[in-house]
Structure formats: structure tokens, C-alpha cells
């Protein structure tokens, strides 16, 4: 993405987001925000306003946090709140702010071998999948989705590792690749709704399980701490984080749709509250 050049007067008029033109930052990000197309929509709006170029590294949440902890980024945007809070507590980030949310769903083939289609009880659905030995494809990559999936199996009283290599298949891949693999083997797959809406290779698959409060999916934004990572571009990172949680950024997030469906729902705290 090409930076936008501004006059000094124009930059001053952009406060509080103004920093030097031709600045760039790295955002360590979960894959769902990238796969859904959200960044393709949001980043030009931010760049046009500030002249800051945002370069996104989209990996699983666990890897994104590791990358940020290794000072390989300026901002962290992921979806595993306990891990995010630990990152901040360990000094990796300056603060964490709720940004937006959507939900997870379990998708499955039209034949529905576990008989879970239409249920909103995710724990009962996972137990039925395990009891019937229906194939389940897991990311298995320490992503935010994988962390949530493991917590749900635990809540259901199921140890999927007992079925590893049999009905429980770990791909070690991102969400799109796991969906492709799962569909290829007729497996159930847990995915964030935004990626599913944007996913092109659905074939006969439909959402089987949705609507449980336990499937809530919160995203957070964290500027990397310059005290731990001195090379962090503090002003540009703060400008991006502040813009995302500002009224303008939140309205932009709400305005992103695919096929008429809103993919993310802003819920940053009101500024000044």
C-alpha cells in the first residue's frame, strides 16, 4: 500500500492521529481479520487519513503473540483474551482494549453424521461428534480459534486427543486451509463466522451449530510496549490503535459487509469513559 503525503498544515489538522508522513507499522494479527477482507477495507481509510502504511502479518493468535513478544511488530490484534491479558501483564503490551466481536460456528456436511445440525448447544454437539466418531478437523495451531476449541472440548468433558489420527484430525494450518481440508474429508470444523461467510469453497457445507453464548469471539488491540521493544514506532502504533477504537474506526468496522452480512461488531469502550 502506498503512503499518502500531506503538508505539515494538513497533518496538524489530523490530530490526534497525525504522525510523520511516510511512516509505516507492522501489525501482528490473527488470520480471520485478514481472510475476511477486513483489512483490505479498513487500512486504506486509515492510510488516507494519516499517511501511515500498515503492514499486516496474519498468523494464528498464538504465533502473533510470540512474534509481538519478540519485538517483531508495533501493534497486536488478536482474539484470545486471556492470552492477550497475560501478554500485557508480562510487559509485552502497554494496554489491551476490546475492539470488536463476532462468533464461532461449527460447520458440517449436508449428511450431518453426528446429528447435530440445528443445535445451539455447542458442548452437547461436540460430545455427540466424539461419541459417534464423526470426523472433526481442528486447526491444531495454537490460534485463537484452536484455543477456544480446546476450551469447549474441556467444557464438554471430552478429550479429543484420544481420537487423534482417527476421528480427530489436526491440520496445523490456518482457518482457510483447515476448512478446505475438513470439507475434503467430510469433517466438522469450527470456524469464526467472518471467515466462513467469506469462504468460497463451501460445497454442500452449512452451519450446523451456532448461537451458544460460549461461541462468543472477542477481538482486542494492543500497542507493543516500547519499554520492552525500543524499536516500536510508538506514535504511529498509537495512532492506529486509537483510530480503531475511535468513533470513526468503530463505524468503519461496522460498515464492512460481505454479501450483505456484517462480519464484525464494534464494541470498544466509549472514549473518555
pTM of the shown model: 0.87
Q: Are residues 200 and 223 in the same domain?
A: no
Of 179, 196, 215, at which residue does a domain stop? Answer: 215
**Residue 273 within any structural domain of the chain:** no
Question: How many Å apart are CA 91 and CA 85, to the nearest integer?
Answer: 10
List, in sequence order, every residue forming a beta bridge with 218; answer none if it has no partner: 101
Asked if residue 228 and residue 209 are part of one domain, the reply reads no
Q: End-to-end CA distance of the chain: give it in Å, rounded.
A: 34
Q: How far apart are the C-alpha atoms of 266 and 248, rounded to whole Å?
A: 11
Same domain, 57 and 140: no
Specify if 1 maps to a domain. Answer: no
Assigned C-alpha cell, 76: 497486536
- Domain end position, chosen among 215, 232, 254: 215
Domain match, 74 and 129 both: no
Please indicate, yes or no, whether residues 116 and 181 belong to a single structural domain of this protein. yes
Number of independent structural domains in the chain = 2
Q: Could you read off the pLDDT tens digit of each residue along the chain, which spans 273 residues?
A: 333 333 333 333 444 444 444 699 999 999 989 989 999 999 999 999 999 999 999 999 999 999 999 999 999 999 999 999 999 999 999 999 999 999 999 999 999 999 999 999 999 999 999 999 999 999 999 999 999 999 999 999 999 999 999 999 999 998 999 999 999 999 999 999 999 999 999 999 999 999 999 999 999 999 999 999 999 999 999 999 999 999 999 999 999 999 999 999 999 998 754
Q: Where are the alpha helices (DSSP H) in the chain?
A: 8-13, 31-35, 38-50, 61-69, 81-89, 122-132, 144-155, 175-184, 193-198, 234-245, 247-254
Query: Are residue 93 and residue 228 in the same domain, yes or no?
Result: yes
Whether residue 43 lies inside any domain: the answer is yes
Do residue 92 and residue 136 come from a single domain? no
- The answer to whether residues 229 and 210 belong to one domain is no
Please indicate, yes or no, if residue 271 is contained in any of the structural domains: no
In a domain, 155, yes or no: yes
C-alpha grid cell for residue 90?
508480562
Residues 6+ apart with CB under 8 A from 179: 107, 189, 191, 195, 196, 199, 201
Q: Range of 174's domain?
A: 104-215
Q: Same domain for 34 and 126?
A: no
Same domain for 189 and 141: yes
> Of the candidates 190, 215, 240, which is a domain's last residue?
215
Q: Do 25 and 67 have their domain in common?
A: yes
The CATH number covering residue 126 comes to: 3.40.190.10
Kindly state whether residue 272 falls inside one of the protein's structural domains. no
Tell me if 91 is assigned to some domain.
yes
Residues 111 and 188 in one domain: yes
In a domain, residue 24? The reply is yes
Amino acid at each position: 500500500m502506498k503512503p499518502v503525503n500531506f503538508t505539515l498544515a494538513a497533518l496538524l489538522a489530523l490530530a490526534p492521529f497525525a504522525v510523520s508522513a511516510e511512516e509505516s507499522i507492522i501489525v501482528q494479527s490473527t488470520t480471520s481479520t485478514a481472510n475476511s477482507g477486513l483489512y483490505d477495507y479498513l487500512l486504506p481509510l486509515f492510510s488516507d487519513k494519516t499517511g501511515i502504511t500498515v503492514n499486516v502479518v496474519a498468523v494464528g493468535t498464538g504465533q502473533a503473540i510470540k512474534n509481538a513478544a519478540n519485538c517483531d511488530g508495533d501493534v497486536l490484534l488478536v482474539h484470545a483474551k486471556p492470552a492477550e491479558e497475560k501478554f500485557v501483564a508480562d510487559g509485552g503490551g502497554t494496554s489491551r482494549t476490546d475492539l470488536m466481536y463476532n462468533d464461532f460456528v461449527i460447520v458440517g456436511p449436508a449428511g450431518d453424521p453426528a446429528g447435530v445440525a440445528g443445535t445451539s448447544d455447542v458442548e452437547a454437539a461436540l460430545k455427540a461428534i466424539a461419541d459417534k466418531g464423526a470426523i472433526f478437523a481442528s486447526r491444531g495451531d495454537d490460534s485463537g480459534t484452536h484455543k477456544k476449541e480446546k476450551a469447549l472440548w474441556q467444557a464438554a468433558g471430552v478429550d479429543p486427543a484420544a481420537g487423534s489420527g482417527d476421528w480427530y484430525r489436526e491440520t496445523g494450518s490456518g482457518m482457510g486451509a483447515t476448512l478446505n481440508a475438513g470439507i475434503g474429508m467430510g469433517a466438522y470444523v469450527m470456524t469464526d463466522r467472518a471467515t466462513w461467510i467469506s469462504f468460497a469453497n463451501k460445497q454442500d457445507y452449512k452451519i450446523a451449530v451456532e448461537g451458544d453464548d460460549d461461541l462468543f469471539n472477542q477481538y482486542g488491540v494492543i500497542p507493543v510496549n516500547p519499554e520492552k521493544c525500543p524499536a516500536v514506532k510508538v506514535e504511529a502504533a498509537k495512532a492506529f490503535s486509537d483510530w480503531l477504537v475511535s468513533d470513526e474506526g468503530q463505524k468503519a468496522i461496522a460498515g464492512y459487509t460481505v454479501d450483505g452480512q456484517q462480519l464484525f461488531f464494534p464494541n470498544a469502550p466509549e472514549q473518555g469513559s
